[in-house]
Amino acid sequence: MSVEYTTRDGVAILALHNPPVNGLNLASRQALVELLECANEDAQIKAIVVTGDAQAFSGGADIREFNTPLVSQEPTLPSVIAAFEQSHKPTVAAIDGLALGGGLELALGMNHRVASANAKIGLPEVKLGILPGAGGTQRLPRAAGLEIALNMIVSGAPVRAKELANTRLFDRVVDGDVVAAAVALAAEKARGGELPRIRDWKVEHPNAEGFLGFARMQAQALSARYPAPLKCVDAIAAAVKLPFDQGLSVERESFGLLLLSPQSQALRHGFFSQRAAAKIADIGAEVALREIQRVGVIGAGTMGGGITMNFLNVGIPVTLLEVKQDALDRGLATIRKNYENSAKKGKLTAQQVEQRMALITPVLTYDALQDADLLIEAVYEDFAAKQAVFEQLDKVAKRGAILASNTSTLDVNRIAATTARPHDVLGMHFFSPANVMSLLEVVRGSATAKDVLATVMALAKKIGKTAVVSGVCDGFIGNRMIEQYGRQAGFLLDEGALPAQVDRAAEVFGFAMGPFRMSDLAGNDIGWAVRKRRASERPDMIYSKTADKLCELGRFGQKTGKGWYDYRPGERNARPSPEVDAMIENHSAELGVTRRKISDEEIVERLVYALINEGAHILEDGIAAKASDIDVVYLTGYGFPAWQGGPMFYADRVGLYNVLAAMRRYAKGYQGAAWKPAPLLVRLAESGETFNR
């Protein structure tokens, strides 16, 4: 049963039962309407309570119905809300856990609401490029007040019920049994009196016009990339100025327009792609997970310390290994400093800082790792160094322990082969800073056991990471693709562009950082080391020499105060460098290349289409299981603009035929050999298909 019906002291209790978050699917909507009618017709019933469970009242629309006819089949959510508003017996929402999106809108349609103090309340639709479509923009301002409602709806951020206790939204906010409190309130209201409806209330605010004007001005600044916030403000303004039903019409019209917008389509693609990334075709629920009670981390440097914090944050103890005491001390000090900085910002208490630090066991010998269930190597990106670590781990790790490498490029199968237990080995490529970045590439080796992969994917979710499975290749998904992006950036310099123009064009497109600012931040010497390795491994892989010349000048980026740009002490502002610009122009002359004016459009196409083409190779090679996995990697780890949906989604929107035509045009120009199209791209373009089917 999607809704369970019980009674208590003459009150009908309708409890949503649709795990995991009581999504309002068609079966739940039908059951709510039918059981509401039953309760209204039963003379023994005085009032009606709707609830969920301790995890969720309701998380809103059931995502499993998205993009299917079921989502719009009657009774729709507005129809369900209308049925509750028309009930001739008092209705009370008993909210525990989450009340988000349509779940909150359902509660807003009832006469009364009771919530547990820590229940999370919100309308997050704006994060999907839409707005609440079942009266949320009309009822929440009437119930919670204009400023609170506008902030909640435009940001999409949830708030605790206790923060709304002084508004008209809740009749009672309790610390105990929320259903018992709701039943008591229902019985009280059943004794007589009016049945209040939020739709009949007025929005109260001393200067609504001025506040809305300020909010509209802020939203307009984002409207080209994110039209939803401005539409939210307009819908909320309708709640202030118009009768309820007219305001509802404004909301529904805006909802329909936003639903069809390219930005919303891209944001929804990203949302569903992240959930799809967790599903692995050959691993089902029957695969039992290994128990992870303690983690060992080898290396207390920047990556090792950040990785350690992920586990401490969720209460998992970590044995942290370094081979030298001073390195171990530095690592511990950095972790403590990070936590203390969070405490200064009010994100942690001093007690929580000490609790997390107490979960670390600092050690200097491998023997101390014998109790760890998962061991993560986080040493220098060099095969010999990692081989030495895994040979030691193979000797000391207990049977059944998972051995993971934080490598960003190296062959996980070679690493696994250094042990007698390759089935227990995989890659866990965290992104820097590891305690902040959400992406985790989980690299599945040829021998990796299914339960090892399933365990790490589940653990990734526990520590708040977005995990994507990659096969074994140089650079996996993200770094393999970014190499082609970087190559094109270099060729653009050879032909006529300068770093500031390339970065500006990329950032106008929506990247968080252009390629040269990004390289300065990461350290130009890192790419230099990769290119030196490539010289022997892949002599066919040609790069612009400008980046090498830059490093030969000692310009390694922000850490040296000069890279592609100049940086003043204590600042991160990138200032164009006359020295670098002159070096680039001189290098073009050395090559015999006549520099030309390059449009921003060409810059963006060459950067993004290089990603797309390599992504097609990755799909064809089986490194990524699906195109949407590639999009997730770039949306969560490489700053690809969310409103563009990821490189493969963007290719589908532009049209693969158009992408291929542009690539063939660029293949006739400078370093045209880099534009050899992936066979998969050609095949899909010629058949009129897309990457994301």
What are 2-37's pLDDT values in tens digits? 999 999 999 999 999 999 999 999 999 999 999 999
Residue 432 has pLDDT above 90, yes or no: no
CA atoms within 13 A on the CB side of 341: 6
In which residue are the tokens 């081989």 written? Answer: 387
Range of lowest pLDDT (52-66, 384-398, 526-540, 565-579): 526-540
**440: its two tokens:** 């985790």
Our measurement of the distance from residue 619's CA atom to the centroid of its chain's CA atoms, rounded to an integer in Å, reads 22
CA atoms within 13 A on the CB side of 8: 17
What is the helix (H) or strand (E) element at residue 581, kind and residue range?
helix 578-591
Comparing 693 with 91, the larger pLDDT belongs to: 91
For residue 560, what is the DSSP state?
A: G
The CA distance from 557 to 528, in Å, is: 12
Taking each helix axis as running N to C, give the angle between helix 627-637 and helix 478-495, from 0 to 180 degrees, rounded to the nearest 10: 70
Q: For the chain, what is the mean pLDDT?
A: 95
Query: Quick one: CA torsion of 157, 160, 162, 167, rounded to 10 degrees?
Result: 30
Looking at residue 51, what is its pLDDT?
A: 98
Looking at residue 527, what is its pLDDT?
A: 87
CB 528 within 8 A of CB 547: yes
Of these residues, 85, 125, 602, 605, which one is catalytic? Answer: 125
Looking at residue 439, what is its pLDDT?
A: 97
Q: Is the link from the previous residue into 20 a cis peptide, with omega within 30 of 0?
A: yes
Looking at residue 122, what is its pLDDT?
A: 97
Looking at residue 449, what is its pLDDT?
A: 98
Residue 347 has pLDDT above 80, yes or no: yes
**190: its two tokens:** 């059943």
**56: its two tokens:** 């969720």
Average pLDDT over residues 551-565: 95
**266: its two tokens:** 């891209």
263 DSSP β-pair partners? none
Average pLDDT over residues 519-529: 90
CB 472 within 8 A of CB 443: yes
- What does the pLDDT look like over 139-196, one tens digit per residue? 999 999 999 999 999 999 999 999 999 999 999 999 999 999 999 999 999 998 889 9
CB atoms within 10 A of CB 68: 11
Query: Quick one: CA torsion of 40, 42, 43, 46, rounded to 10 degrees?
Result: -50
Residues 6+ apart with CB under 8 A from 173: 114, 115, 116, 117, 161, 162, 164, 165
Residue 538 has pLDDT above 90, yes or no: no
Looking at residue 69, what is its pLDDT?
A: 85
For the chain, domain boundaries = 3-259, 295-470, 478-687
The CA distance from 426 to 453, in Å, is: 8
Residue 64 has pLDDT above 80, yes or no: no
In which residue are the tokens 């939020």 written? Answer: 198
Looking at residue 204, what is its pLDDT?
A: 87
Average pLDDT over residues 501-521: 96
- Tell me the CATH number of domain 478-687, given options 1.10.287.610, 3.40.640.10, 1.10.10.10, 1.10.1040.50: 1.10.1040.50
CB atoms within 10 A of CB 358: 10
DSSP secondary structure, 89-158, as one string? S-EEEEE-BEEETHHHHHHHTSSEEEEETT-EEE-GGGGGT----SSHHHHHHHHH-HHHHHHHHHH---
What is the helix (H) or strand (E) element at residue 35, kind and residue range?
helix 26-41
The CA distance from 87 to 129, in Å, is: 33
Q: How confident is the model at residue 526 (pLDDT cuts 50, 70, 90)?
A: confident
- What does the pLDDT look like over 458-478, one tens digit per residue? 999 999 999 999 999 999 999
SS3 assignment for 183-194: HHHHHHHCCCCC
Q: What fold is seen in the domain 295-470?
A: Rossmann fold (3.40.50)
Looking at residue 540, what is its pLDDT?
A: 80
**60: its two tokens:** 């809103």
Average pLDDT over residues 367-393: 96
Residue 642 has pLDDT above 90, yes or no: yes
Strands 98-100 and 120-122, by their bridges, are parallel
Looking at residue 12, what is its pLDDT?
A: 98
Average pLDDT over residues 668-692: 96
CB 630 within 8 A of CB 612: no
- In degrees rounded to 5, what are phi and psi of residue 549? -60, -40
Our measurement of the distance from residue 107's CA atom to the centroid of its chain's CA atoms, rounded to an integer in Å, reads 28
The Cα angle at residue 301 between residues 523 and 353, in degrees rounded to 5: 120
Of these residues, 4, 34, 41, 105, which one is catalytic? Answer: 105
Looking at residue 62, what is its pLDDT?
A: 83
First-to-final CA distance of the chain: 33
CB 58 within 8 A of CB 16: yes
Looking at residue 192, what is its pLDDT?
A: 86
- Greatest distance between any 2 Cα atoms in the chain: 93
Residue 535 has pLDDT above 80, yes or no: no
Our measurement of the distance from residue 450's CA atom to the centroid of its chain's CA atoms, rounded to an integer in Å, reads 25
Which of 398, 403, 575, 552 is closest to 498 using CA atoms?
575
- What does the pLDDT look like over 593-638, one tens digit per residue? 999 999 999 999 999 999 999 999 999 999 999 999 999 999 999 9
Region for residue 402 given its phi and psi (left: phi exceeds 0; alpha: psi -120 to 50; beta: otherwise): beta
The CA distance from 375 to 471, in Å, is: 20
Alpha carbon separation from 562 to 312, 503, 524, 568, 575 (Å, rounded): 36, 16, 10, 9, 9
Catalytic residue list contains 585: no
Average pLDDT over residues 307-324: 97
The type of residue at 468 is V
Q: Is the link from the previous residue into 229 a cis peptide, with omega within 30 of 0?
A: no
Q: Is the link from the previous residue into 227 a cis peptide, with omega within 30 of 0?
A: no
Helices (H), 317-466: 325-344, 350-357, 383-396, 412-417, 450-462
CA atoms within 13 A on the CB side of 261: 24
Catalytic residue list contains 495: no
Alpha carbon separation from 44 to 88, 119, 407 (Å, rounded): 14, 31, 67
CB 36 within 8 A of CB 83: yes
Residue 105 has pLDDT above 80, yes or no: yes
What is the helix (H) or strand (E) element at residue 58, kind and residue range?
strand 56-58
Looking at residue 221, what is its pLDDT?
A: 84
Average pLDDT over residues 108-127: 97
Q: What fold is seen in the domain 3-259?
A: 2-enoyl-CoA Hydratase; Chain A, domain 1 (3.90.226)
CB atoms within 10 A of CB 687: 9
Average pLDDT over residues 117-125: 97
